[in-house]
Amino acid sequence: MTGSKKRGQKKTGRKSAGPAGKRATGKSASGGGGKTKTGRTRKAASGGVRTARKRGAKKSPPKTSKKSAGKPAKKTRTLATSKKPSGEAKQKRRPKPKSEIALEGLPLFEGGPELKAETPAAIQGEPSPRVPRAIVGTPPPRGKGTKERKGFQTAQTIALRQREISISEFFAKNRHLLGFDSLPKALLTAVKEAVDNSLDSCEEAGIPPNLLVEIRELSENRYLLRVADTGPGIVKSQVPKIFGKLLYGSKFHILKQARGQQGIGISAAVMYSQLTTGKPVKVITRTNPRQKAHVYELQIQTKTNTPVIISEDTLDWEQPHGTQIEMELVAAYKKGLRSVDAYLHQVALANPHAELVYRPPRDSEIVYKRITEKLPAEAKAIKPHPHGVELGVLLDMLKLTKARNVKGFLEREFSRMSARASLDVLEMAGISPTTSPKRITREQAEELIRAFARAKIMKPPTDCLSPIGEELLVASVASEVEPDFHTAVTRPPAVYRGNPFQIEVALAYGGPMFSEDEIVKLTRFANRAPLVYQQSACAITHSVVNTAWRSYGVAQARGALPSGPMLVVVHIASAWVPFTSESKEAIAHYPEIIKEIKLALQKCGRRLARFIRRGVKAREEAKKRSYIEQYIPHIGAALRDILSFSEREEKKIVSKLSTTLEKSRKQ
């Protein structure tokens, strides 16, 4: 497994904890656009609490500082994780030590390198639009003149209890937000996080992924999970943070198609393991065949969201490079629709370039072979598109940019903003191109956003997307269910809220794996990762339900999924997949996305209809032919019984009638 962390939320906006201590899960975010920029700054190390406030911005009493979040400690391993055996690659990809990284890049807050990794966030200044100002770290009023009344708290006494909550503490209490709400789901989520990371890292490093997933039952509801990959491995110094710190990862601040997004996933799994078993996780990783592998035993210090290294060693590992994580957890292994088995099956379906070995607890090993040697085209990172940006994000970007004037700012920080387009936009917004970005007021920024909407701006570049492709989808589906008919459609890229996305649909019909009357099997993927839970809340399901399957010859009850011997696979690839929740289980209902899914479904449906009609016709034809052969002799025999004529006469009647019917049928 690699080191990238994923998951968490998208956000960049500011967030800080409210006095109530509700703190941000990663979710508060604001728009999708700002990830790139805001983030790349700092990383946090350990528990020191720093405030991120900028000077001059509101003055905070000491207490506040504790609660306002710093910029999240996310670091970008830009080229990071991967390391190829080749020397060149190695050099290029080796991550820099963290402090270096922290300082490079954008100018930062004064905060200093150590911030608490809280939620992503708080940069300064204007609150992002989604977070009401009130909860943005305003200090509790100090009680001037507040009268104390009996039995009630004063601001001061309340203040004594107000303190920061670390992200890890928050998730320890709210594990359902991350997909650890039930025992079977916990196992699945842990597998999913590890597998997502492994696949992401292999692809980033250009290595055809080989994965091993092993689940061993230790005792009732106690399992040992081992996931190993042949990826690039993780640089030694990064290992503890990748696995032992929430919201630490490489993907959050880059607009690029990947399974992981926020840097929460694997460390959340580690935390879950720790919460339920008290044991550390074991990580083995090796980046270079000439060096030994590193072995760590890690835990998370939840109060401070920092990794604790229990032991550290080196090892002669049989793999030249790669990563393996081993964790023990309280969970439940189940069969069925939402099982780990089904999940890995689907992973194999959407990742024909990966080889997957699965050792389930009781049954024998399952191997999903690689169907193609070709790795998916590498998805490029892109800058945010003006149509997706929100006010708070824009304000943050204005503060952080190195550009000297707004025109330069627009060209440099956004995709598709040519000199010409930038001037157009600025003219519409009534802002002089030479204004310093730092001087742009909030009102002007709003004007800018309105101008974005009005101006003609090219759609975002789509090379950040890496679809599976019709050919491979079809091959995957065909090897999976051996259908009588299959087809796939990859739509051209489209855009929602400034984020490019692309829809693919594959459809398999008939064959030995289906029975006639069941509801169709719907398999959903987002960036090649299967979506297992919350099917009914998902825009994909919504689109399938709202497609008129009956006109394609497939049965469908009103407001329900169609039924018949059919598998429908829908894949959405996007630099930023809009999930409805942190646990990444369902796609949000953007009209643009629903429209694209339906178009793809309809195209597949039309092809299916042709197939079904052909089949129906052929069957009817055969049936009619056999009808004539079977029943006409009876007409002859019955007439002969009634009228007692000769056998010759009977034959004459039969042949005459057969001819008549055959003829009329052809007309």
Partner 1 sequence: MTGNTKVVKKIKTEATRIKGTILQGKKPSMKFPLRALSNVRYHAKNGYFEMRGRKKERTLTVNTVKTFAQTLRMMSLSKDLLETDDIATKREAYYVSKNWEAARFNEQPESDAVIDDVEAFFGLNREQLGFIPEEKGGDVAGRLIVVDQDRDTKKKIRIDCTKFGSGAYSIPIAVEHLEFETKADFILVIETAGMFQRLVKHNYWKKANCILVSMGGVPTRACRRFIRRLADSKKLPVYVFVDGDPYGISNIYRTLKVGSGNAAHLNEFFCVPQARFLGITPQDIQTYKLPTHPLKEVDVKRARDAIKNDPFILHHKPWQRALEQLIKMGVRAEQQALAKHGLNYVIDTYLPEKLRHPERFLP
Which positions touch partner 1 (CB under 8 A)? 624, 627-628, 630-632, 634-635, 637-639, 641-643, 652-653, 656-657, 659-661, 664-665
Do residues 243 and 307 make contact, with C-beta atoms less than 8 angstroms apart? yes
Rounded least distance, CB 633 to partner 1, Å: 8
Directed axis angle between helix 183-204 and helix 340-350, to 10°? 20
79 contacts: CB under 8 Å, gap ≥ 6: 92, 93, 95
Which CB, 314 or 659, lies closer to partner 1? 659
DSSP state of 377: P
Which CB, 378 or 621, lies closer to partner 1? 621
Name the amino acid, one letter, at 166: S
Nearest to 375 by CA among 456, 472, 283, 452: 472
Measure the CA–CA gap between 196 and 194, rounded to whole angstroms: 6
Extract the tokens encoding 170: 């928050």
Which CB, 421 or 632, lies closer to partner 1? 632
Which CB, 606 or 665, lies closer to partner 1? 665
User: What is the full DSSP assignment across 573-614?
Assistant: EESS--BSSTT--SB---HHHHHHHHHHHHHHHHHHHHHHHH
Rounded least distance, CB 358 to partner 1, Å: 48
Extract the tokens encoding 189: 């989520």
Which CB, 86 or 655, lies closer to partner 1? 655
Measure the CA–CA gap between 20 and 403, rounded to whole angstroms: 38
Rounded least distance, CB 642 to partner 1, Å: 4
Rounded least distance, CB 639 to partner 1, Å: 5
Extract the tokens encoding 666: 């052809």
H or E, element range at 196: helix 183-204
- From residue 144, give the alpha-carbon distance in Å to each of 154, 159, 162, 619: 11, 13, 18, 88
Nearest to 74 by CA among 46, 100, 41, 50: 41
Rounded least distance, CB 616 to partner 1, Å: 15
Which CB, 580 or 658, lies closer to partner 1? 658
Measure the CA–CA gap between 108 and 42, rounded to whole angstroms: 8
H or E, element range at 313: strand 306-315
Nearest to 16 by CA among 55, 46, 58, 75: 58
Do residues 75 and 145 make contact, with C-beta atoms less than 8 angstroms apart? no
Which CB, 581 or 658, lies closer to partner 1? 658
Rounded least distance, CB 619 to partner 1, Å: 14
Burial class (CB in 10 A: 0-12, 13-18, 19+), 428: middle
Rounded least distance, CB 667 to partner 1, Å: 12
Radius of gyration for the chain, computed over Cα atoms and rounded to the nearest angstrom? 30
Rounded least distance, CB 649 to partner 1, Å: 8
583 contacts: CB under 8 Å, gap ≥ 6: 176, 177, 178, 179, 189, 533
Directed axis angle between helix 391-400 and helix 442-454, to 10°? 110
Which CB, 139 or 636, lies closer to partner 1? 636
Which CB, 471 or 641, lies closer to partner 1? 641
Which CB, 173 or 634, lies closer to partner 1? 634
CA dihedral sign of residues 199, 200, 203, 205: negative
Which CB, 237 or 659, lies closer to partner 1? 659
Rounded least distance, CB 640 to partner 1, Å: 9
Rounded least distance, CB 591 to partner 1, Å: 46
Rounded least distance, CB 595 to partner 1, Å: 43
Q: Provide the greatest CA pair distance for the chain.
A: 123
Which CB, 550 or 652, lies closer to partner 1? 652
Rounded least distance, CB 623 to partner 1, Å: 9
